[in-house]
Structure formats: structure tokens, C-alpha cells
A and B are shown apart, each in its own frame.
Chain A
């Protein structure tokens, strides 16, 4: 039987959850015995080349690119996991959600902030840039998410235990000490 295939991505996240994933240390060698990776920053495969068993999503949905990647993950993965607070509730990027408009956020970031030097008063608007959404959405408000692993970043042991449980067809039963929201 071929090994289960895992894909991972970081949407509007800081890659902290991926760093925490690498924090499983030498167990990563065991992990490569257990699974193959497909689209993921871990092996630098940029697009899906086959259907995957587990998709791990870091970060919420802040722009059009995040949205399309998340949709693609749902299409190509049997199980989707929201990893970390940003994927679960929008996290730090979602702190813009209660502001008046994106315009005011961009103005604050690129023009009005005392730390900004931007003499031409240009707000980035290149067509290559993904469009910002009206707010930052938690992943489960866009697609169906099967499991949630909270934490900022989620503890490495939580990620490891959850993956091992899933790969063995068991329920994820997180331990208190690894199950934190911060």
C-alpha cells in the first residue's frame, strides 16, 4: 500500500505553525517513513500533482489568492486541518476586521503611520498583487474543515499526536498541556 500523502500551506499566516511543525525534531524522520508530502513548503512542490489524504492549513483567508488556494486544498485533500489560531479565527490579521474599511487600513499602513516613509503616497496596487478581501475569514467559513488544532503556534507535540492518531485511524485526543490557544 502506498503511503498517505500530506499537503501543507500557509495562507494569511506567519509560517510560525510550519516552524512549530518542524519542532517535532527528529521525529520528522519517522514522519517521512509514515507519509509522503505533496504541495508544501517542506518539499517546495508548488502545485498539486496528485490527490492527498491530509491537507494542513496555516493562516486565515485575507486575499483572493488565499481563497483560491484554500478551495484547491479542499478539492484535492480528503481531510483538512485548520492549524493554529489564524486558520481557526483569523488571528492577528483579523484585527483589521473591526476597522471601518480596507481603505482606512491601507492608509494607516502606507501613508498615515508615523513610522512610514512614503513621499509619493502610493498604496500598492499592482495587478500582480492579490486583492484583499473585505475582512479576514477563518478557513471554516470558506470551506468545510474537518479538524482544528489550536495554538499560536500549536505545540509540536499536538501536531505530532494528531497526525499519528489520524494516520492510525484513531480520534484526535489532545493532551491538556499541548492544547493551548496562545
Chain B
């Protein structure tokens, strides 16, 4: 097989390299495909399904599907965007995403996606989940009601000596992040910030740093998510 070949995304012909995922080809060519559980430098796991695209008519996840010659991909279409919006809405109702009370508001990727996809209200009933809020660690607070189970923390955060700080227990909708309490006692501020930043929502928060950036200066206040790849047409 040749090293380079052509695929099309929404009718635009692009050159892909052998072995690259659809997500990589798209972002290299200035096309934004929304993601939540995918994170730069981590092995994709396709659990959030937000990056769903249609490949030759079938719905696939762009973060794990390898591009192959002649693929016809639909990305920014009303049907796909509606599907993504539904997924984001289910995440909003599954946990307690009270944006006004959340320290991550304005820097939250879930919220930013809802803005970009123009979600006004979820079509599903709110669950008002009642999970534990763990503030027992000196530097980090964990609100399980906000976790969207992307596992980015468990996949991406290791202590300075290479140990896992986060893990997951249970399966399916009962999945819970858990933090190694002994290791968490001695983490640096930098590591705590890393843990907070890798969380797309407000489930992992650094203590005593809440609302540190005023409204108007936060990450997504004026810049829609994905604008670094593809600018939103009208803002």
C-alpha cells in the first residue's frame, strides 16, 4: 500500500498518511472534529463517542478509526452534529452539571462543546445524581457527580516516580474514579494542576484555587472550543 492516499471529509479531498486516524488527518488539515475522551499524547479509547463521524455511511469514532484510501467521511453535517449534541446532553443529565456553581465553568470542555453545538436545554430528564464528593485530599477535590467517565485522569496522570495516581473501580454506569490517597498527599502543586487540567469537566479540582480567573478571561469565554483547529463561522 502507498504511504500517502486521499480521503474526503465533507466533500473536501485531503491527503492522509498510512496509519493515521481520521481525527489526526482532520486536525492536521484544519478540520475540527469534537472530542472529549481523546487527549493529546494518550492512546484513544473511543468511550465518549463525541467524535462520531460517518465513514462511507456508517457511524464510526474518528479517534480510533484508521484512515484508509477512498474513505468518504461526513463530519460537519446536521445529522452528525445532532448526534453529538444528544451525546453531550446525556452527559449533562447523567451528572450534576450546575455550571454556575462549578469552579471549572468557562474552562470546561463539556460546557464548551455544548456552546459550540448550541445546546440550550437537554431533551432528557435530569438525574440529580447523589454521589460522593471527596475533599479529603490536601490538594485535590473530587466530585463524582461531575465525572463523565472519560478516564483521561487514569490514563494520563502519573506521579514523578511513575506511579498511577488515579484508577477506576466498578464498571458501566457505576464506574468511579478513585485516587491513591497516600500518593495524593505528597503531590506537587504542578502535578495537582496537571490533574485538574486533564479533567475535561469539574470532577477533579485543585483546592483553594476556585474561580481564580474572572469571567471574561477564562479559556472558552471568547474562544469556542476547537477554534485553534477550525474557526467557528459565526460567533
Binding site for B on A (CB under 8 A): 82, 85, 88-92, 94-95, 97-99, 135, 138, 140-141, 145, 147-150, 152, 174-177, 179-182
A-contacting 9-mer, from B51-59, B63-71, B121-129: B121-129
Within 8 A of A (CB), among B194-235: 215, 221-222, 224, 232, 234-235
A151 to B88 Cα, complex, angstroms:
18
Interface residues on B, range: 20 to 34
- Measured between beta carbons, the chain B residues less than 8 angstroms from A95 are 96, 98, 101
A35 to B181 Cα, complex, angstroms:
60
Assuming the contacts A140-B121, A182-B215, asked whether A98 and B115 have C-beta atoms less than 8 A apart, the reply is no
Nearest residue (CB) in A for B105 is A182
Given A94-B98, A180-B106, A180-B115, 7 extra CB contacts under 8 A: A88-B120, A89-B98, A91-B98, A98-B128, A98-B145, A147-B120, A179-B118
- Measured between beta carbons, the chain B residues less than 8 angstroms from A176 are 115, 222, 224, 232, 234-235
- Measured between beta carbons, the chain B residues less than 8 angstroms from A91 are 98, 100
Task: Tell me whether B105 and A181 are in contact (CB under 8 A).
Answer: yes
- The distance from the CB of A79 to the nearest CB of chain B, in whole angstroms, is 15
Task: Tell me whether B120 and A182 are in contact (CB under 8 A).
Answer: no
Binding site for A on B (CB under 8 A): 96, 98-102, 105-106, 111, 114-115, 118, 120-122, 125-126, 128-130, 145, 215, 221-222, 224, 232, 234-235
A165 to B96 Cα, complex, angstroms:
32
A140 to B121 Cα, complex, angstroms:
9
Task: Tell me whether A94 and B121 are in contact (CB under 8 A).
Answer: no
A181 to B121 Cα, complex, angstroms:
10
Task: Tell me whether B115 and A89 are in contact (CB under 8 A).
Answer: no
Nearest residue (CB) in A for B100 is A152
Which among A135, A138, A141, A181 is the interface contact of B111 at CB below 8 angstroms?
A181
- Measured between beta carbons, the chain B residues less than 8 angstroms from A99 are 130
Could you jot down 9 A-B contacts, CB within 8 Å?
Answer: A89-B122, A92-B98, A95-B96, A98-B128, A98-B130, A135-B128, A141-B125, A177-B222, A177-B235
